[in-house]
């Protein structure tokens, strides 16, 4: 039993090492290719505008590209790289955005329409039930004045009337 497990782990390690070596070789070839492309661009610009202008153009372009890449990297949420606990993962998976809910509503309405066209009453009823659930989660059936947007509107209306009165 233990020998089988160690054999499986050894095989997986060999496969992972081969993949890593292949990616490293591909990366080296890409870096060499990028070096030759930069050299060709430098030679072309140097022939037209001179060596200093070519060096300034390439250096400025590469620094600008690296600053843009750095700005994009800094825009990411720093919590993405941190391991989350299982409870946090489940809550993040269970909480859907409004866009996700609207997409679910679209899919459920399409499935309901298809079932209706086919005359499949049980699937049609299940589709309508799913659509009602989706609309309920989106807050369509909430009474007016209970949503967060309604609270903000009433606050602005109260301040407007207080200022005007």
Tokens of 35: 């070096």
Q: What's the chain's length in residues?
A: 165
Q: What is the pLDDT of residue 117?
A: 81
pLDDT above 70 for 93: no
Angle in degrees, CA 57, 58, 60, rounded to 5? 65
With 80 as the cut, is the pLDDT of residue 151 above it? no
**Euclidean distance between CA atoms 95 and 98, whole angstroms:** 10
Q: What are the pLDDT digits (tens) for 29-88?
A: 999 999 999 999 999 999 999 999 999 999 999 899 888 888 887 876 655 556 666 666
The reported pTM is: 0.40
Summary mean pLDDT of the chain = 79
Percentage of the chain lying above the pLDDT 70 cut: 75
**CA-wise closest residue to 133 among 155, 107, 154:** 107
């Amino acid at each position: 039993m233990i020998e089988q497990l160690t054999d499986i782990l050894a095989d997986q390690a060999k496969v992972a090492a081969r993949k890593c070596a292949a990616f490293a070789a591909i990366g080296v070839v890409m870096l060499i290719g990028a070096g030759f492309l930069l050299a060709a661009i430098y030679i072309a610009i140097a022939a037209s505008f001179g060596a200093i202008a070519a060096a300034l153009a390439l250096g400025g372009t590469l620094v600008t590209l690296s600053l843009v890449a750095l700005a994009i990297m800094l825009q990411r949420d720093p919590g993405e790289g941190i391991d989350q606990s299982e409870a946090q993962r489940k809550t993040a998976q269970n909480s859907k955005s409004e866009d996700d809910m609207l997409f679910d509503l679209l899919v459920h309405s399409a499935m309901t329409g298809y079932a209706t066209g086919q005359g499949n009453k049980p699937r049609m009823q299940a589709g309508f039930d799913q659509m009602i659930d989706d609309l309920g989660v989106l807050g369509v059936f909430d009474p007016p004045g209970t949503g967060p947007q309604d609270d903000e509107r009433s606050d602005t209306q109260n301040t407007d009337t207080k200022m005007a009165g």
